[in-house]
Structure 1
Amino acid sequence: MNLYTIPLSRNVKQALLMLVDGFMLATAAWLSFSMLGISAGPLADRMTVFTGVAILISVLVFFRIGLYRALLLYMGVQSGFIVLQGVSIAALFFAGGYYLVFSFPQANNAAVPIFWMLALLFIGGSRFVAKIALQSLIQNFRPKEPVIIYGAGSSGMQLVAALQNGDQYLPVAFVDDSRHIVGSIVHGIRVYSPSALADLITNFSVRQILLAMPSASHAERKEILNRLEHLPVHVKTVPELFDMRSGKVHVDEVRDIDIEDLLGRDIVPPDQGLMGACITGKSVLVTGAAGSIGSELCRQIISLRPARLVLLDSFEFGLYDVELELQALRDSLPESDSAEEPEIIALLGNVCNQGQMNAVMTRFGVDTVYHVAAYKQVPMVERNVVEGVHNNVFGTAVSALAAKQCGVQHFVLISTDKAVRPTNVMGATKRFAEQVLQALTATQGTTCFSMVRFGNVLGSSGSVVPLFRRQISEGGPVTVTHPEVTRYFMTVEEAAQLVIQAGSMASGGDVFVLDMHDPIKIVDLARKMIHLMGYDVRDENSYRGDIAIEYSGLRPGEKLFEELLIGESVTGTEHPKIMRAEEDYLPWEVLEPMLNELQAACTELDLGSIRRILMQAVDGFEPDTLSDDPLWLEQPATSQQDAVFVRAAPANVTPIHKR
């Protein structure tokens, strides 16, 4: 319900308010005379006429200055200033009429200020009372959900003001860690200490807590969330401070908490010298630009003002989407006298196409390549071995050889922690790709090859976080592969910044490893997300819980624990979050024949040879079989040496046997 539901036209409502204000001004004039004992005597008729004219003119002035354009329900500070302005003008008209009737020796000079105060009380006070009454009426017709706001700072005050005028939430209490403001009243709402949360939730039947601390660090927010985790409430948060200041979002656009807050990991401010060293004023190519990591790299790169940014991807719509986004980001960059507007070029293509890669790097004079294009989903690559090998190994080899031939200055490969002692095809292909760059570095050439290895990226297309959130919102169950499985996590923004900085520090053949902090148990992450979304976990200890956690078993090729280093030789760099690893690799004269043999095996769909070559090239890779690929079936054999892989063939087609 709001004012518009009252079955009267706006003009009629304004006319009624004008009549009420006229009555309020007349009452103020009468009271001011009565309080001072002023009697007009024979001049009463004249006084009545002059006062009536003053009131009529005052009401018309109220209309002129816009007092009747403001809805009573949404009156704020600005409307209060308009009331003050209008009443002050009315007092001047009243004073004119008053002194026309009474001469200065006879007049009581207190009449005018008393009239001003009474008129301000009546005109302003009536509107304030009407606003409170309307808000109460609305709450009776459309009850709001009671919420507690954690944080009574400026963002909390903005949030409560916005929610009070909204129709969804009713703020009932503030909670703040600062002892100095506990017990005070902010916007009519009392501020409590965190220790009172349990009682507040019970007394007000609260189901949601809104975290209004956008400027707090992730570590501070994690500490608060740890305190809130055991409470039976859904915790939400206001947008980031930067987004609110830039106008992208409003303070009342609350959302679920970010996983970054659960990790408590704060991003180290990037070194701007390292960020721009390989980018500013240069021609930069990003392969796999439409993916989650590639697109974030592009966002970071465009802000560093390259001369040209070339986007390459085979995903048509994703490439179109990221191109539009980057064009908007480029147009929003502040003007610079020293740099021209970056050129953005979007290309559909495949990194395995050697002719295209050579043409792209030559035509656009590429200085720096960030090679992101790869198949990264472990189970998917296990079931599509040939394509996984072809894209991850040969996509890297073709791109690297093209970079070397075209004189590219820097080539940075985005690698993964799954390349360390891999148990899956995806990890083995990424380690093979790393060795290609290490081997090429040892040959003659001007291109500086390096690779950056890190773990899981939050917000990426394969992240468990959106999966868990969707499963929780659907009522569960939440699926976890194994109760002991742990993973490293990093935000996509931080990963992109560190990749750029690591590439700038490369001297050739460097294996950079990003500091991922401590690994996180996936089941603990699931439990936290369930609790902070207002539910209880249903397990053997709590049969009345809301959301169950089910263990689906490790998928093909998955590890319980991921590693970041193959050996023990690791040194620091000038950046505290970037390390440099020293690892053995196969020389190019050994690796090149393997590549040729591997290419032939991929062409012939020879899964057995692919498995053998990967085992030879990648230390520690010893899969039992590669038969998860649906194109292949493993026939029973008397010994491991006699194992035969058979390509699955359509009906009436003779299978191809390979030993």
Structure 2
Amino acid sequence: MFLDVFICGISVWLAFGLRLDQWGHFEVEQWLVFIVAIGFSFPLFISFGLYRAIFRYIGSAALASMARAFILYSGLFFCLFTLIGVDDVPRSIGVIQPILLFIGIGTSRYFVRYWLGGINNVQKAFHKASPIALIYGAGSAGRQLAAGLNSNKEMLVKGFVDDDPRLQGSTINGIAVYPNSGLRDLIYRLGITDVLLAIPSVSQGRRSEIISSLNGCGVRVRTLPGLIDLVAGRVRISDLHDLDMNDLLGRAVVPPEVGLLEKNILDRVVLVTGAGGSIGSELCRQIIKFTPKSLILIDSSEHSLYLIYEELKRALIELGFDRTSASENDQKFSAPQNLPIKIVPCLASVRDDDLLRKIFRVHRPATVFHAAAYKHVPLVEQNPAEGIRNNVFGTFICAKASLECGVSQFILVSTDKAVRPTNVMGASKRIAEMVLQAMAELAAKEGHATNFSMVRFGNVLGSSGSVAPLFSAQIAAGGPITLTHSEVTRYFMTIPEAAQLVIQASAMAVGGDVFVLDMGEPVRIHDLAVKMVYLSGLLVKDEERPHGDIEIKVTGLRPGEKLYEELLIGDNPQPTAHPKIMKAHEEFLSWNPLQQELEKLNLALESSDIRLIREMLKKLVPGYVPDGRV
């Protein structure tokens, strides 16, 4: 405000000097111009918010306010000193002074923005040792990202890249917009260290093409944060996200169908086993969005159960659900439609027959998602008896309790490792599938209402034990990345997509269905590791690049591990109403002969005879070829 008073006085002094061609004594009437100029300008500047704007972040709204204030000021000043006139004051002062004042005020604001906004030579010198960024996308998201980064001096933005030819060759706030052709040369020429993707509306296919084109450029590829964080320079380097798993996989995710998601959840009692695990916890997160009557959480890990229970309570409040009871023993919530949602954590093992039956009898679930399983291949291979007890007989106990209590839908979360398995984990999951297929046949014969189905899919990126978090940690530690085999391939999808597809598949089940999720093309693990190294701004260290950053070491296949995974035993998948869900028809034993084999298997478990257990698995699971010695 002090600066504006000074500029206002200087503009009047200059106006008189330019008009009278002399710098000298002012008459009393001429001093009136100084008083009027300050008296007009200050109330207008205050009312139009010129002293509320932070001019290092000046934008179109602040400029528009300043322009409106000056138009009104110029009109008043012109009317008083030019149209009406004042003795001893030249009429041209009413024109000259507003122009000079506008130039002075505008220049002072621009200087503030120039000095503090990140585009002056001092700041450029400061940035020499800082990351140098290229923003892909010159739309509104890219412009906001550039403004936010320039304001905090942590990263220097040297250019935009955009696919739109109308923008190429132009500049935005002094930053050039380059074409997408010759991207590698541009990165090397400008010394770019980071490429930031600001293309929220582009298709997944085009996004994958852009990411692939950056492989091996030695730049770190990251994506912009939420737009709310871009406001007024609140973006910092730490806020930028690494690419998510869909970017790494190049998968096009099909939006879920709300009708299928709601069908077995809305106003129903839903029970999830393994609720604290990677898949089970994501199922719970998805389920509470569709207003179940209550959600029963079962897990044998106290820590995992506690974490998901507390997370769900917080999520309900964030979703707009208000607590109706403060009692610690009765955690209830009310939805906006006054529909109570009750979350019940049950610390229990799926192998505890009596406790499981009690839980089912008390809560009477209508829908059961059975995600509890031992899934880590090497651990189950070394502890086969426990793996079978949990995966086979735990499934059997849950399915039997569901049948007795009239559960409407029972859905098993299965795996592609159940197809022609080479390990105990895969064989145990295939037997679990066969248990449900046989029980579905039995339920249909005896008139039970329970529909048993299973959903089979491949590896889930981001789940416990998956390769992506392991590779990220190894890259952060400086390597090496460890692979079991250079030719290993796997099917992948993200945890949220897998959970949504499981819920949608359950809505299409009619009994005994084996649903297979479309996992896209199999991914070579070596290629995934290389891509993660490149997109971290590093280079792979090998014979061709001995001075690279991260080495990839092959350690050899683990016991029971396959080079390639399959999703189908046969070649007869049938389409369903959902483009990402298929239905398989797999052979199985009827209930009576299967029950007899399960009794023999249980006896082998009780005797801890691992060789007999393996022979029983061979007999029960056609195609099971154990790999490695007992």
TM-score, normalised by the number of residues in structure 1:
0.85
Instruction: Please give the alpha-carbon distance, in whole angstroms, between the structure 2 residues aligned to 1:565 and 1:92.
Output: 80
Instruction: Give the alignment's Cα RMSD to 1 decimal.
Output: 3.1
Give the drift of 1:217: 2.7
2:308 paired residue number = 322
After superposition, the Cα gap between the structure-2 partners of 1:364 and 1:156, relative to the gap in structure 1 and judged at 3 Å, is same
Please list, as runs of the form range in 1=range in 2, the aligned pairs for 1:60-209 lying within 5 A after superposition: 67=50, 73-77=56-60, 79-80=62-63, 83-84=66-67, 98=81, 102-103=85-86, 109-134=91-116, 135=118, 136=120, 137-141=122-126, 143=128, 144-209=130-195
2:486 paired residue number = 483
Give the drift of 1:391: 1.0
2:523 paired residue number = 520
Give the drift of 1:218: 2.2
Give the drift of 1:469: 1.6
Moved more, 89-98 or 600-609: 89-98
The reply on whether 1:265 has 2:265 as its aligned counterpart is no
After superposition, the Cα gap between the structure-2 partners of 1:440 and 1:339, relative to the gap in structure 1 and judged at 3 Å, is farther
Give the drift of 1:370: 0.4
Which residues of structure 1 form unaligned runs of 5+?
Answer: 1-16, 628-659
AA matched with 2:259: G
1:631 paired residue number = none
Give the drift of 1:76: 4.4
Please list, as runs of the form range in 1=range in 2, the aligned pairs for 1:208-223 lying within 5 A after superposition: 208-223=194-209
2:217 paired residue number = 231
Instruction: Please give the alpha-carbon distance, in whole angstroms, between the structure 2 residues aligned to 1:63 and 1:199.
Output: 50
Contact 1:477/1:549 (8 A) holds in 2: yes
| 1:479-528 deviation digits (Å, cap 9, x = unpaired) | 11111111001111211111111111111111111111111111111111
2:379 paired residue number = 380
1:423 paired residue number = 422
Give the drift of 1:428: 0.7
Please list, as runs of the form range in 1=range in 2, the aligned pairs for 1:489-568 lying within 5 A after superposition: 489-568=492-571
Give the drift of 1:33: 3.1
SS in 1 for 2:339: coil
Q: 2:290 aligns with which of 304, 308, 315?
A: 304
Give the drift of 1:93: 8.0
Instruction: Please give the alpha-carbon distance, in whole angstroms, between the structure 2 residues aligned to 1:446 and 1:547.
Output: 56
Instruction: Please give the alpha-carbon distance, in whole angstroms, between the structure 2 residues aligned to 1:604 and 1:567.
Output: 35
After superposition, the Cα gap between the structure-2 partners of 1:337 and 1:62, relative to the gap in structure 1 and judged at 3 Å, is closer
Contact 2:479/2:551 (8 A) holds in 1: yes
After superposition, the Cα gap between the structure-2 partners of 1:46 and 1:96, relative to the gap in structure 1 and judged at 3 Å, is farther
AA matched with 1:417: D
After superposition, the Cα gap between the structure-2 partners of 1:110 and 1:605, relative to the gap in structure 1 and judged at 3 Å, is farther
Moved more, 137-146 or 501-510: 137-146
| 1:87-112 deviation digits (Å, cap 9, x = unpaired) | 567658866985899448x8655533
Instruction: Please give the alpha-carbon distance, in whole angstroms, between the structure 2 residues aligned to 1:397 and 1:139.
Output: 67
Moved more, 250-259 or 156-165: 250-259
Instruction: Please give the alpha-carbon distance, in whole angstroms, between the structure 2 residues aligned to 1:315 and 1:339.
Output: 33
Contact 2:162/2:168 (8 A) holds in 1: yes
Give the drift of 1:339: 6.3
AA matched with 2:304: G
AA matched with 1:275: L
AA matched with 2:451: C
Instruction: Please give the alpha-carbon distance, in whole angstroms, between the structure 1 residues aligned to 2:150 and 2:231.
Output: 23
Sequence identity percentage: 45
Give the drift of 1:59: 5.2
TM-score, normalised by the number of residues in structure 2:
0.89
Instruction: Please give the alpha-carbon distance, in whole angstroms, between the structure 1 residues aligned to 2:246 and 2:54.
Output: 41
The reply on whether 1:361 has 2:364 as its aligned counterpart is no
Instruction: Please give the alpha-carbon distance, in whole angstroms, between the structure 2 residues aligned to 1:384 and 1:356.
Output: 24
Contact 2:29/2:89 (8 A) holds in 1: no
Give the drift of 1:37: 4.2
AA matched with 1:140: A
AA matched with 2:295: L
Contact 1:214/1:240 (8 A) holds in 2: no
AA matched with 2:105: I
AA matched with 2:368: V
Q: 2:588 aligns with which of 559, 582, 585?
A: 585
1:454 paired residue number = 457
Instruction: Please give the alpha-carbon distance, in whole angstroms, between the structure 2 residues aligned to 1:414 and 1:361.
Output: 19
Moved more, 411-420 or 27-36: 27-36
| 1:300-327 deviation digits (Å, cap 9, x = unpaired) | 1111111111111122232222223222
Give the drift of 1:568: 2.4
Give the drift of 1:601: 3.1
The reply on whether 1:614 has 2:617 as its aligned counterpart is yes
AA matched with 1:32: A
AA matched with 1:306: P
Give the drift of 1:434: 0.5
| 1:194-238 deviation digits (Å, cap 9, x = unpaired) | 223233223321111111112223222111111111322111111
AA matched with 1:469: S
AA matched with 2:401: A
Contact 1:412/1:450 (8 A) holds in 2: yes
AA matched with 1:22: V
Instruction: Please give the alpha-carbon distance, in whole angstroms, between the structure 2 residues aligned to 1:483 and 1:337.
Output: 53
AA matched with 1:26: G
1:641 paired residue number = none
Please list, as runs of the form range in 1=range in 2, the aligned pairs for 1:329-478 lying within 5 A after superposition: 329-333=315-319, 340-443=339-442, 444=446, 445-478=448-481
Give the drift of 1:181: 1.3
Contact 2:132/2:192 (8 A) holds in 1: yes
Contact 2:8/2:37 (8 A) holds in 1: no
Instruction: Please give the alpha-carbon distance, in whole angstroms, between the structure 2 residues aligned to 1:438 and 1:201.
Output: 57
Moved more, 138-147 or 268-277: 138-147
SS in 1 for 2:160: strand
Give the drift of 1:118: 1.7
Moved more, 583-592 or 64-73: 64-73
SS in 2 for 1:270: coil
Give the drift of 1:185: 1.3
Give the drift of 1:589: 1.2
Instruction: Please give the alpha-carbon distance, in whole angstroms, between the structure 2 residues aligned to 1:583 and 1:246.
Output: 55
Instruction: Please give the alpha-carbon distance, in whole angstroms, between the structure 2 residues aligned to 1:107 and 1:152.
Output: 51
Instruction: Please give the alpha-carbon distance, in whole angstroms, between the structure 2 residues aligned to 1:49 and 1:180.
Output: 52
1:599 paired residue number = 602
Moved more, 423-432 or 311-320: 311-320
Q: How many residues align?
A: 607
The reply on whether 1:24 has 2:7 as its aligned counterpart is yes
1:650 paired residue number = none
